[in-house]
Amino acid sequence: MSLSKIFRFVLLLLAVSSCNINGQKYQTLSVADFDKKLHEGNVQIVDVRTPEEYAEKHLKDAVNINFNGDDFVDMVVKLDETKPVLVYCLSGGRSAKAAALISKKGYTQVYNLDGGILAWTAAGQPVEAAAGASSKGLDMDGYLAQVKSDKLVLVDFNAVWCGPCKILKPTLDKIAEKDKDKLILLPLNVDQNSKLSDAMHISGIPLIILYKGGKEVWRNLGLADQKEIEKVIADNSK
Q: Are 26 and 19 in contact (CB under 8 A)?
A: yes
Tell me the pLDDT of the chain averaged across its residues: 86
Class of domain 140-235: alpha beta
Checking if the pLDDT of 62 tops 50, the result is yes
When pLDDT is averaged across residues 43-52 and rounded to a whole number, the result is 92
Instruction: Work out the percent of the chain whose per-residue pLDDT is above 90.
Output: 61
When pLDDT is averaged across residues 103-109 and rounded to a whole number, the result is 93
When pLDDT is averaged across residues 110-119 and rounded to a whole number, the result is 94
C-alpha span between 167 and 21 (Å, rounded): 27
Q: 167-194 pLDDT, tens per residue?
A: 999 999 999 999 989 999 999 998 888 8
CA torsion sign for 86, 88, 93, 98 is negative
Active site residues: 162, 165
C-alpha span between 52 and 43 (Å, rounded): 24
What is residue 126's three-state secondary structure?
Answer: coil
Checking if the pLDDT of 21 tops 60, the result is no
- CATH code reported for the domain at 16-122: 3.40.250.10
Going by C-beta distance under 8 Å and a sequence separation of 6 or more, which residues neighbour residue 43? 37, 83, 84, 85, 86
Checking if the pLDDT of 114 tops 90, the result is yes
Going by C-beta distance under 8 Å and a sequence separation of 6 or more, which residues neighbour residue 120? 31, 34, 59, 88, 113, 127
Q: Are 174 and 205 in contact (CB under 8 A)?
A: no
C-alpha span between 152 and 133 (Å, rounded): 35
Q: Is 37 left (phi over 0), alpha (psi -120 to 50) or beta?
A: alpha
When pLDDT is averaged across residues 22-49 and rounded to a whole number, the result is 89
**Domain edges within the chain:** 16-122, 140-235
Checking if the pLDDT of 155 tops 70, the result is yes
Give the pLDDT score at 141.
83
pLDDT band at 48; cut points 50, 70, 90: very high
CA torsion sign for 221, 232, 138, 184 is positive
Q: Are 86 and 45 in contact (CB under 8 A)?
A: yes
C-alpha span between 52 and 150 (Å, rounded): 37
Give the pLDDT score at 107.
95
* Residue with the larger pLDDT of the pair 2 and 153: 153
* Residue with the larger pLDDT of the pair 121 and 15: 121
